[in-house]
Amino acid sequence: MRYVLITLALLLAGGCAWADDIVTMPTANQLKGGDVDIAAYYIGLDFPDAMPQYVQYQTVYVGLTDRFELDVHRANVDKDKESTILVGSVKLLSESPTTPDLVVGCRNIGGTATTNVPAVRGKSEDRSYFLSAAKTFFFNPAAPGPPLVRVHLSVGTEDWTLFGEKRHDGIFGGLQFLFRPDLGAVIQNDGQDLITGITYMPINTGLTLKAGTFGDHWWVGLAFRRNLGQ
């Protein structure tokens, strides 16, 4: 019976206020088939005045099936260029009480340049591949559910699609916390920056409010998620 309760809790946790999508870092948080997540972000940049001061970023995540996900990321970078990249991922393994979620994917499938800066424009066109795993641990194993922590660990190839900096090269990952069904937090390292965030999701609305830090920068975001089959 305890095994069944833990399995059900893992399934229910997927609909809670994970602070998972912090613009770029791949994780094993995969949408279910029919799920659509639309989000908009503003990233305030702590760069010298001659450099970009902000990024306006929008994402659309689509669960094509329970195994396949396709995402569209659009970035409008101050004093640089606007670009759109595609991200695809496949779930290889679903989490159970004894196994992690395991996802493999590719960022920038189309090889799109995301900056006009000559030194890194060519690098920004490169595809980045990743393998991500995640496992959920309950603070009280006898009563599965929030509060809980989700541990992420990934390995990948270099990704130059944001800020003209290298990310996701080698090992990266972090921790997600769910304090209660509507309140979560995250701390991650993408190989370049330490990323923090807190998330609030009003119950039964599909809305998520997010904010945090991205290295020396800061960000805020708003997301809406819905299953088109419901």
DSSP string, 176-187: EEEEETTEEEEE
For 89, the domain range is 2-227
**Residue 186 in contact with residue 177, Cβ under 8 Å?**
yes
**Residue 152 in contact with residue 131, Cβ under 8 Å?**
no
For the chain, 230 residues long, the average pLDDT of each consecutive 10-residue run is 41 47 81 95 96 96 97 96 97 95 98 97 98 95 88 97 95 95 94 95 94 96 90
Task: Please count the helices (runs of H) and the strands (runs of E) in the chain.
Answer: 2, 14
pTM: 0.88
Question: Is the omega angle on the peptide bond into residue 141 within 30 degrees of 0, that is, cis?
Answer: no
pLDDT digits (tens, 9 = 90+) for 180-192: 999 999 999 999 9
User: Could you give the CA distance from residue 108 to residue 118 in angstroms, rounded to a whole number?
Assistant: 19
Radius of gyration of the chain (CA): 17
Q: Which pLDDT score is estimated for 68?
A: 98
Which residue is it, tokens 């972000």?
A: 41
CATH for 146:
2.40.160.40
Q: Structural domain tally of the chain?
A: 1
Q: Which pLDDT score is estimated for 21?
A: 57
